[in-house]
């Protein structure tokens, strides 16, 4: 038996070598199969779609499932299918938030330390205050596009207007985009006298004429559906950035929506805030011991106002509420399209607002403009008569009293670092409806967390080099 041992060991060694070789071949075949599948449209379809919906200047408690009295059945349905997050933070103004969404890092590092319209003298020409999405970052849509995603945008950009900074240059395959900070919702009337008209791009080209029947919320939604439909069935997933302009002022809605909330706000801002607070407690959004922030010192008690003043001021909130409900209807139209075309079951939906509610009256807070000069321009450019409020060509904003209602229960609003300016409602719906209808009070989330999270869900590593040069690492988690 001892004589046979070397022979037996030799045989065993050969068998082990053959098994090892077979394992290597199987591993190689497995890898080849995986690579083949990665290139197969059927496999690519398993990667999730992403729909990111951003409202412009919408308050924390405006939607129904966050305590509001405004009818938002479609957003409420998303909240019931997903998770509401109560501790989600954004920047106090819009373009810094959008820069963090697109980059996954602090807005200063991304070039948007401040809105370019509000650059202070000591910030001009300084790093981090370029006023555009700079090239130190790899934009989220560009990363996704490079990894096989369709990338679509419809809505407001506010991250640069020159050819090298428009959406098409930063990774969007298709777009229909308002490049400016704001403007009319029915036309290209500008937001201030710095421009003659607002600027738009369509699929990377500057356009002079808007589609027939243009209204921001409707047209942006129709364009997004058109983009997604154009490539449906090709096996590639999509990233859809639905950056709505509503409910940013000027408050404008189609004529048949003007009276939807007639009389709803006659009780005044104090009562509406109290009602919202009570509903938020009933929904377990805030603790039972929570109280509203005290009324801003320069906002009068509603009951001290004259009857005419009450009618005038209530009208502003009526139009704002109609605008939010119309926005909700368009969000529902997009979600219904995804459902009807069997794309919803593989789509993550994220909804939030870019900052707190707008409080400015647009007459006294424009860089380099005296109040009287801007008021004169506004009167020449828009119809500011009470009877025209909310209609095409009119201009009205709802001001600090109603902005504080929208921010219930928090203090202050857009443009401040108070909770009312930087805490946003957040709803996330995952395809499996995990923890559907729940409220998350524990996670502390920030807008810069979204880009790395989406890349992680798509199984994509954030690059350290992009377009031939080094880029900063994402900070979000």
In the chain, % of residues over pLDDT 90: 84
Instruction: Report d(CA 214, CA 195) in Å as an integer.
Output: 20
Of 94, 150, 185, 244, the catalytic one is 94
Give this prediction's pTM.
0.90
Q: Tell the residue number behind the tokens 């790899």, with chain if given.
A: 138
Annotated domain spans of the chain? 49-470
pLDDT in tens, 40-81: 444 444 899 999 999 999 999 999 999 999 999 999 999 999
Of 158, 165, 244, 248, the catalytic one is 158
Q: How many CB atoms lie within 10 A of CB 218?
A: 18
* Least confident range of 6-15, 107-116, 287-296: 6-15
**Average pLDDT of the chain, as a whole number:** 91
Catalytic-residue membership of 185: no
Superfamily of domain 49-470: Alkaline Phosphatase, subunit A (3.40.720.10)
Catalytic-residue membership of 94: yes
**In whole angstroms, what separates CA 266 from the centre of its chain?**
31
Q: What average pLDDT does range 299-310 have in this prediction? A: 97
């Amino acid at each position: 038996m001892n004589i046979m041992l070397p022979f037996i060991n030799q045989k065993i060694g050969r068998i082990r070598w053959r098994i090892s070789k077979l394992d290597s071949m199987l591993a190689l075949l497995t890898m080849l199969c995986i690579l083949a599948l990665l290139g197969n449209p059927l496999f690519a379809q398993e990667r999730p779609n992403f729909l990111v919906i951003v409202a412009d200047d919408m308050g924390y408690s405006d939607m129904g499932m966050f305590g509001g009295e405004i009818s938002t059945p479609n957003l409420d349905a998303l909240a019931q299918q997903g998770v509401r997050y109560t501790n989600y933070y954004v920047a106090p103004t819009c373009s810094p938030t959008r820069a963090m969404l697109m980059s996954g890092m602090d807005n200063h590092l991304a070039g948007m330390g401040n809105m370019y319209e509000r650059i202070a003298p000591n910030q001009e020409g300084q790093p981090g205050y370029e006023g555009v999405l700079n090239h130190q970052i790899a934009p989220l849509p560009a990363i996704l596009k490079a990894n096989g995603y369709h990338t679509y945008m419809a809505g407001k950009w506010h991250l640069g207007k020159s050819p090298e900074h428009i959406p098409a240059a930063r990774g969007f395959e298709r777009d229909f985009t308002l490049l400016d900070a704001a403007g009319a919702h029915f036309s290209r009337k500008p937001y201030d006298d710095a421009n003659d008209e607002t600027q738009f791009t369509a699929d990377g080209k500057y356009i002079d004429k808007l589609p027939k029947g243009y209204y921001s919320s409707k047209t942006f939604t129709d364009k997004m559906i058109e983009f997604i439909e154009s490539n449906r069935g090709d096996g590639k997933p999509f990233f859809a950035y639905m950056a709505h302009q509503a409910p940013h002022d000027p408050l404008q809605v189609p004529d048949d929506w003007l009276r939807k909330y007639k009389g709803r706000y006659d009780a005044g801002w104090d009562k509406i805030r109290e009602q919202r607070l009570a509903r938020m407690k009933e929904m377990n959004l805030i603790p039972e011991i929570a109280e509203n922030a005290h009324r801003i010192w320069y906002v009068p008690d509603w009951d001290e106002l004259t009857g005419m003043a009450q009618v005038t001021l209530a009208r502003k909130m009526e139009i704002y509420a109609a605008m939010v409900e119309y926005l909700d209807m368009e969000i529902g139209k997009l979600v219904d399209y995804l459902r009807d075309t069997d794309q919803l079951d593989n789509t993550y939906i994220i909804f939030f607002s870019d900052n707190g509610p707008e409080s400015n009256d647009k007459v006294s807070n424009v860089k380099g403009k005296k109040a009287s000069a801007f008021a004169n321009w506004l009167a020449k450019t828009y119809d500011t008569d009470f009877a025209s409020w909310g209609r095409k060509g009119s201009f009205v904003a709802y001001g600090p009293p109603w902005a504080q209602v929208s921010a219930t229960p928090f203090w202050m609003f857009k443009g401040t670092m108070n909770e009312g300016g930087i805490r946003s409602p957040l709803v996330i719906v995952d395809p499996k409806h995990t923890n559907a209808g729940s409220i998350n009070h524990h996670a502390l989330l920030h807008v810069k967390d979204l880009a790395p999270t989406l890349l992680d869900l798509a199984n994509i590593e954030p690059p350290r080099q992009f377009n031939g040069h080094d880029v900063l690492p994402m900070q979000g988690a």
